Amino acid sequence: MNYPATLIMEWLAAYLWPFCRVSAMLMTMIIIGSQTVSPLVRVKLGLLITVAIAPLLPAMPAIELFSLNGFLVTINQLLIGIALGLISQFLIQTFIIAGQVIAMQTGLGFASMVDPINGGSTPVVGQLYLMLGTLVFFAIDGHLAMIRLVTLSFHSLPVSLSGLSLGAMQELVNFGAVMFQAALAVSLSAIIAMLIINFSFGVMTRAAPQLNIFSLGFAISMVCGLLILWLSLGSFLDHYLSHWSRVQSLMCSVVRLNC
């Protein structure tokens, strides 16, 4: 049986362009896109997801695959997938920044370790928030929500020469400010508590200089820091779910979905 070349190219395009969008998201999303996961595993996972969702996708555009327009379509699919994965990174980076701020304020910042996600050295408190955020992300099926979102994006933002709009890119850039605001909201209670403690140290030193409070201040600050860290973990889930809803809203807005 002979198959014409045009039919073969249509079959190939029906899987290649969705694979580009899905795999780009997997390469940049939380945990799955980290250095701890092999690129080969991500490619295989992207291929499996593409094969599973391909029958549900709308028809691909009548654009020759190996042409300039076909190359532009491929680039657009990669950018859409990268944008979705990058937005998910904003979620986890918010709590990493919050953990680093708390560590620096409570005197626990000297304890650092190599971050397996980013490859750099970060405070242990930041790693604690990273692990908690990762566990909650999988506990609330965040990875499944992102796979469902990228599948629906083929209907709201179909494969074509037009990719992300300038408004969507602007929203993506502006969300960086929201990330730092959320990190400040998570760490604000610890900052205020340590400010009060340090203020009390200053009052005691001024009132009774012979106590030499600064010789004990570091140890007391560390103990208070551990207590503050323990108390602040109680509101971690509320902050996480609130920020996750904002991240989902941004994803829906970028791919023009009405969530």
pLDDT tens digits for range 154-169: 888 888 888 788 888 8
> Max alpha carbon distance in the chain (Å)?
97
pLDDT at 22: 92
Pull the structure tokens for residue 14. 């029906």
- What residues of the chain score a pLDDT lower than 70? 1-7, 108-122, 208-217
pLDDT at 204: 75
Q: For the chain, give the number of residues.
A: 259
Helix ranges restricted to H, the chain: 5-28, 39-53, 68-106, 124-139, 142-156, 166-207, 214-232, 236-254
Whole-prediction pTM: 0.83
